[in-house]
Copies of this chain bind each other. A is one copy, B any other.
Amino acid sequence: MITIEPPRLRAASDVPGGRRKQRVSMADVARLAGVSSQTVSRVANGAAGVVDTTREHVLAAMSELGYRPNSAARSLRYGRFNTIGVILFGLSSIGNSRTVEAIATHAAAEGYAITLIPVGAATQDNVMGAFTRMGELAVDGVVLIIEVHLLDASAVAIPPGVHVVVVDSDAGDRYPVVDTDQADGARQAVRHLLALGHRTVWHVAGPAESFAAERRAGAWRRVLEEAGRPVPAPERGDWSADSGYHAGLRLAADPDCTAIFAANDQMALGVLRALHERGRRVPADVSVVGFDDIADAGSYLPPLTTVHQDFAEVGRRCVDALLRQIHDEPTGAGTDLVATRLVIRGSTGPVGS
């Protein structure tokens, strides 16, 4: 069969192996199968109204040529990309990576791919830059995992008409927000320690810019105040085990300190190490509670009592909320809170046990 090869603008570039880089289009398949490209389209989309023999010819031609639909053309045609963008500062935090994983998995189940847009540091410029890039990206909606207050200032830069869901933020009055119920988790942790008989609870807080850290610290403070307990000055870490270690060293020096609530598990790990080095037994001398319930927490020495966050559920609800917007089911602003629960392990106990 003689095929007329139209002149191609791209370099024809035959790979040594003999593979051609040229994309196969519906027209190519149609030519080989001896049908129109519209029929190929019908077969590709499983539309009715194609006779079996024709369908088989087309399918045969497709697999012979290795046809794959061109999603750019498809997106252009439909005005939809079937893609969700995720803007975040980094995957290094365990919570972020698990949330992203859940988003990816759930989005895939709904036929959406996800595009990751990392933002270097939490500077205004970077965030603005990400929004700009995002605007040009082929996405139908965006999940913002920004976790810092900067969102306020840069909110104006969110291009109109872009669907947005925000994770872990106080933007609930302007955008739909999905988040873990940080405050309730912190309350459970602090009340647990008070119930064990501790006079008050020390706190190793996360970085001041973090909204989650602030809410955990706020809830800690409120529970103590409501119970009429003294509120010790909080130590501040940066989420890392190392920063928790240094905070722990300071707290270990205070003989009154018998109960510590760390704003995440990794800082709690550092606290445990500091207490151990200073000869303060956990939980006999000091009780420690973390936050997150990462997979390793049950293997700390001792196994860590901590607040379980359901990252997977957060990711799932993000995707659901976004898809609702994309499908034109108007979702108002407001905050959707995912419940937390306290997991009691070996790092907490009654005072002086």
Inter-chain CA distance A307–B281, complex, in Å, is: 30
Asked whether, in the complex, the Cβ of B73 is within 8 Å of the Cβ of A76, the reply is yes
Asked whether, in the complex, the Cβ of A69 is within 8 Å of the Cβ of B136, the reply is yes
Asked whether, in the complex, the Cβ of A98 is within 8 Å of the Cβ of B92, the reply is yes
> A interface, by DSSP: helix, strand, loop or mixed?
mixed
A66: interface (CB < 8 Å): yes
Write the chain B residue with the least CB distance to A276.
B301
Task: Assess A91 versus B97: contact at CB under 8 Å? Given A120-B105, A296-B266.
Answer: yes
A269: interface (CB < 8 Å): yes
Chain A residues 1 to 36 lying within 8 A of chain B, measured CB to CB, are 10-11, 13, 15-16, 19-23
A137: interface (CB < 8 Å): yes
Query: What are the residues of chain B within 8 A of A330 when measuring CB–CB?
Result: 15-16
The minimal Cβ–Cβ distance linking A115 to chain B, given in whole angstroms, is 5
Inter-chain CA distance A275–B149, complex, in Å, is: 44
Write the chain B residue with the least CB distance to A296.
B241
Asked whether, in the complex, the Cβ of B20 is within 8 Å of the Cβ of A241, the reply is no
Query: What are the residues of chain B within 8 A of A73 when measuring CB–CB?
Result: 72, 76
Query: What are the residues of chain B within 8 A of A16 when measuring CB–CB?
Result: 330
Chain A residues 59 to 109 lying within 8 A of chain B, measured CB to CB, are 66, 68-73, 75-76, 79, 81, 83, 90-92, 94, 97-98, 100-101, 104-105, 108
- Report the copy number of this chain in the oligomer: 2
A230: interface (CB < 8 Å): no
A161: interface (CB < 8 Å): yes
List 14 additional contacts besides A13-B328, A241-B299, A244-B299; criterion CB under 8 Å: A19-B161, A20-B160, A21-B161, A23-B79, A68-B135, A83-B115, A91-B98, A94-B94, A108-B117, A113-B116, A113-B117, A241-B296, A241-B298, A266-B296
24 contacts between A and B (CB under 8 A): A15-B330, A19-B160, A66-B161, A68-B159, A71-B138, A90-B101, A91-B104, A101-B118, A104-B116, A105-B118, A105-B120, A113-B115, A113-B116, A113-B137, A114-B115, A115-B116, A241-B295, A241-B298, A242-B295, A269-B300, A272-B301, A273-B299, A273-B301, A296-B296
